[in-house]
Amino acid sequence: MEIRYPLKAAYSQKIESLLNALSTDVNDGLSTVEASLRSKYFGLNIYKSQKRKSLWVMAFEQFNSPIVYLLLVAGFASLYFKNQAEAVAIFIVIVVNAMIGFFMELQARISMRALRDMDISFSRVIRGGKSCEIPSEQLTPGDLLLLEAGDVVSGDGRIVLINGLQVDESPLTGESFPVIKTIETLNDDGTAAAKNMVYKGTAVMNGNARVIITAIAEHTELGKISEMVGRSTSTQTPLDLKISKLTKKLIWITLVMTGIFAISGVIERKPWLQILETSIALAVAAFPEGLPIVATVALAYGMLLMARKNAIVKKLSSVETLGGVNVILTDKTGTLTENKIFVEVLSFPSQELDVSIKNGLLEFKKSGIEKSRENLLLLTRIGSLCNNVPLNVSDKDKKSFGDPIEVALLILADAAGYPVKNTTEEFKRIAEMPFSSETKLMCTLHKGIDGFLVSAKGSVESLLLKCKSMQSGNAIGDLNNDERRKILLNAERLSALGLRVLAFAYLSYTERPGDDYLHDLTYVGMVGFLDPPRTDIKDAISACHSAGIKIVMITGDHPMTALNIAKKVGITAADDNKVIAGSELPEIESLEEEWKERILSTSVFARTTPKQKLEIVDVYQKAGFIVAMTGDGVNDAPALKKADVGIAMGLRGTQVAKETASIVLKDDSFSSISQAVAQGREIFQNIQRFVIYLVSCNLSEIFIVTLLGFLADGAMLFPLQILFLNMVTDVFPALALGLGKGDTTVMQRPPRDPKLDIISNRNWLVILIYALIITGSVLLAIYLCKIYVTADVRVLNNVAFLTLAAAQLFHVFNMSSLHSGIAKNEVTRNRFVWLALLLCFLLIAVVYFFPKSRAALNLNLISHQAWLTVLIASILPILLVQLHKIVFKKRVVLGHFSKTDN
Ligand code: ATP
């Protein structure tokens, strides 16, 4: 390969010499073979610094925690005091715990990687003369990249064809005003941001272009900066912060307990070694070792489930926020509707026709086309020319390559027998005013054999403002106010039927017009497209309503179309005709209280601009709502960013929207949002559940150690016994709870405020009660054993340990929701819970039956009677709590998953 790379100053070279230097073609691009060769030669288009943490580092990090340091001290102290068995046991616990942590982190990492793989970006290129989509990482120098509004540029390149291209280069320059690009060769020292170049990471705001790629990966301007600055890897989510706040609280509780214990020990003149040992036991007991990692695993696993249900979460923090969302601002086309568009009505000045396309042929339902043949011809011509769907791809691919409305127009032209290909060859496009949701218009200028032709399409209101005359059959007449009113009324009537209406106009010139060619057009007619609501949408919306989430439609479409669809899908009641059109909305600065209330009480907004979407988000947020907002266009990015949860459409969304959003929907469907909300709530409920479980277990250990210190010194638990419970057996049931399915009422409760702590005051009370019950059961076991079996302190200790172990394991069943059944609930249905219990009981059996491990944990083989006391006492907590559940099934007293407090 003769390419000298990286290329210097591509902006100052003539396009031809650049093409030569890169051995590529301005029309056909690289051949596929050449592209793959180059991809191998130049490497993938990704930054080298995007490296992952090595497994060694991950393994090492498992030992990097204060509790492990403390345990190492305890281990070495045991060695020093010649208690080798205990030292070995402590080291084994440390290693086992590190292994559990390592595999859990690995699992979380695998889930996150799977998630990232679903979120790869694509670029449109021409290879071997054909347009195709490739993963952006395969882009290579010499590729011919196609850009249009909404794209994020995936490599640096020189513009070779341009149509009103405007690019937001703020990632590179910090300047957020769009830069107007040019195709001219520059002599000046353009360096970082030349006007005839586009740069990786910048966003196309307007227009379109073809670009020859000159640099990829770290050779791009942004790549150089990223390599210099390095990437920040810290991603602390609000959940992480809450967990560390909770951990700190527990540490304080421990310190206080340890303090009380140590002072009383000193007063009672207990041996120093005993005070020290018990203090360490307390510290170990209280520290919720498994908490952060179980939370990470639960989060990552839940996110993977969400992704399988078509919602890819890009920002970890959104999972929690999503569960708290109480209003969803959604667009209509494609999210609530199928976005499979069928032509239903053709409306011309002289007649209106109900039509359908069957077997590729246009059929007229009632009357024939005679009076409007000329209009149909013009309309199909405009629809074919003012159209950005590539013709050189198959019919199936067209759907993924273009706006469905434009695909439908090509299908209409074909069905009407219009020669689309010949026409596009005959009328070469020489300029374009691309569609934008602000203007709601698209217009193209073409050079024909004997003149120039302007083709325009757009919303009826916008297009009529650009029209001066109208075509009726072969005659062109004046478009007076009466005619305008008639057309607008017609459009309104069609919209009220739920149709998407698009109007068409044209103008011929003999000379090439100036840049401002969108005026004095001749109106030709309208097409009413049927875009039916998605089949599953009604259920999804009613699920959201019963979950206390308000749904608001904000669309660019006609108010009547919007209202019709809103009623069909259940966003508004059949008799609710409230709709606010964008033109009615005052500027946000002058928004009075009365208007804010009107906005908050209206569920349908139509003909809105992206700026107004942003303003509506603002009104909701100021009123205290947690807002999820959907968007797809390049101009939706600010609103997506502002919303608490920005949701972009994976199929029809622009890359800019996808990069800005915190969630991307793979299938663009609203139902996926409602499922994601349910999953978000489930994840949070799971996290809350295992936190309650772990903390109540930890607290019971603290209580037991402290109380035994005072009441039954000899039966005191040994540090290693607590360590075993806390670092080995507690973790598995907690993890199982973290991976479970939520209870069935998760979407029947109001959303919770994501700003609240994981554990509410009521939850703390519940935790305290659980801990006291478990403590009581251990004391009961000791008491029963002392009265009926033996007063041998070694046996009493063993009974205390085994009762605590079993009671904690059974306690996992207390974690089911108060609303669910006793035998059949989300915990008993969770197979991970059963697996965890099996594993933990096996571990206890192994420790109990092997003399070495038994000795290390100070255990003895105890009598059947002693075992009976263990059994009776350990099932007491579960019996008590389940009894409470039966008695108070309807009244929420002890429950932490109440109607108001999830
Ligand atoms: P939503 O905002 O719910 O996705 P929408 O797709 O109708 O609805 P926009 O894309 O902003 O909203 O379109 C607004 C209007 O612009 C449409 O009602 C239609 O009249 C017109 N329009 C849509 N697509 C095109 C297009 N490709 N070319 C010209 N005009 C269009």
DSSP string, 401-423: HS-HHHHHHHHHHHHTT--HHHH
Q: Rounded to the nearest whole angstrom, what is the distance from the C-alpha of residue 556 to the centroid of ligand 1?
A: 6
Give the closest residue (by CA) to ligand 1 atom 4: 333
Given the DSSP bridges, would you call strands 327-330 and 627-631 parallel, antiparallel or unpaired? Answer: parallel
- Tell me where in the chain the CATH 3.40.50.1000 domain(s) lie: 321-338+534-668
Tell me the best of 526, 555, 654 to mutate to test the pocket of ligand 1, counting ligand atoms within 8 Å of each CB and taking the most.
555
- pLDDT computed for residue 893 by the predictor: 43
- pLDDT computed for residue 900 by the predictor: 38
Tell me the best of 465, 500, 557, 665 to mutate to test the pocket of ligand 1, counting ligand atoms within 8 Å of each CB and taking the most.
557
- pLDDT computed for residue 580 by the predictor: 94
Instruction: Bin 724: left if φ > 0, else alpha if -120 < ψ < 50, else beta.
Output: alpha
Pocket of ligand 1 (CB under 6 A): 331-333, 403, 405-406, 435, 437, 440, 442, 457-459, 500, 502, 555-558
Token look-up 């994840």 returns 683
Q: Rounded to the nearest whole angstrom, what is the distance from the C-alpha of residue 669 to the centroid of ligand 1?
A: 18
Give the closest residue (by CA) to ligand 1 atom 12: 556
Atom of ligand 1 lying closest to residue 502 CA = 20
Name the class of domain 343-530: alpha beta
CA distance 422 to 841: 77
Residue 5 DSSP one-character state:
S
- Tell me where in the chain the CATH 2.70.150.10 domain(s) lie: 10-50+121-223
Give the closest residue (by CA) to ligand 1 atom 31: 458
- Tell me where in the chain the CATH 3.40.1110.10 domain(s) lie: 343-530
Atom of ligand 1 lying closest to residue 440 CA = 16
Atom of ligand 1 lying closest to residue 558 CA = 18
Give the closest residue (by CA) to ligand 1 atom 14: 556
CB count within 10 Å of CB 839 equals 15
pTM metric for this prediction: 0.77
- Tell me where in the chain the CATH 1.20.1110.10 domain(s) lie: 288-310+678-887
Least Cα distance to 495 among 538, 442, 470, 531 occurs for 531
Least Cα distance to 157 among 105, 217, 200 occurs for 200
331 classed as catalytic:
yes
Query: Which stretches of the chain score pLDDT less than 70?
Result: 1-8, 48-53, 66-67, 115-116, 118-119, 174-176, 188-193, 226-238, 273-274, 277, 281, 284-289, 392-401, 712-714, 728, 820, 888-902
User: In one letter, which amino acid is 463?
Assistant: L
Q: Rounded to the nearest whole angstrom, what is the distance from the C-alpha of residue 594 to the centroid of ligand 1?
A: 30
CA distance 484 to 877: 78
**Active-site position among 151, 156, 331, 618:** 331
Q: Rounded to the nearest whole angstrom, what is the distance from the C-alpha of residue 663 to the centroid of ligand 1?
A: 23
CA distance 44 to 859: 59
Q: Rounded to the nearest whole angstrom, what is the distance from the C-alpha of residue 149 to the centroid of ligand 1?
A: 15
Atom of ligand 1 lying closest to residue 403 CA = 27
- pLDDT computed for residue 835 by the predictor: 95
CB contact at 8 A, 455 and 446: yes
CA distance 643 to 302: 22
Name the 3-class secondary structure at 506: strand
Q: Rounded to the nearest whole angstrom, what is the distance from the C-alpha of residue 633 to the centroid of ligand 1?
A: 11
Q: Does domain 10-50+121-223 have CATH number 2.70.150.10?
A: yes
Give the closest residue (by CA) to ligand 1 atom 25: 458
For 11, 68, 218, 222, 290, the CA distances from 226, given in Å and listed in that order, are 22, 36, 8, 6, 35
Give the closest residue (by CA) to ligand 1 atom 9: 556
φ, ψ of residue 153 in degrees (nearest 5): -70, 135
- pLDDT computed for residue 5 by the predictor: 54
Tell me the best of 502, 579, 607 to mutate to test the pocket of ligand 1, counting ligand atoms within 8 Å of each CB and taking the most.
502
φ, ψ of residue 423 in degrees (nearest 5): -65, -45
The HSE-up count of residue 453 (CA atoms within 13 Å, CB side) is 20
- pLDDT computed for residue 231 by the predictor: 43
Q: 288-310+678-887 in CATH: which number?
A: 1.20.1110.10
Q: Rounded to the nearest whole angstrom, what is the distance from the C-alpha of residue 439 to the centroid of ligand 1?
A: 10
Tell me the best of 208, 328, 333, 384 to mutate to test the pocket of ligand 1, counting ligand atoms within 8 Å of each CB and taking the most.
333
Q: CATH number of the domain at 321-338+534-668, out of 3.40.50.700, 3.40.50.960, 3.40.440.10, 3.40.50.1000? A: 3.40.50.1000
Q: Rounded to the nearest whole angstrom, what is the distance from the C-alpha of residue 458 to the centroid of ligand 1?
A: 7
Q: What is the DSSP secondary-structure string of 30-97? A: B-HHHHHHHHHHH--SS-TT-PPPPHHHHHHHTT-SHHHHHHHHHHHHHHHTT-HHHHHHHHHHHHHH
Atom of ligand 1 lying closest to residue 437 CA = 11
- pLDDT computed for residue 901 by the predictor: 40
Burial tier of 528 (Cβ tally within 10 Å: 0-12, 13-18, 19+):
buried
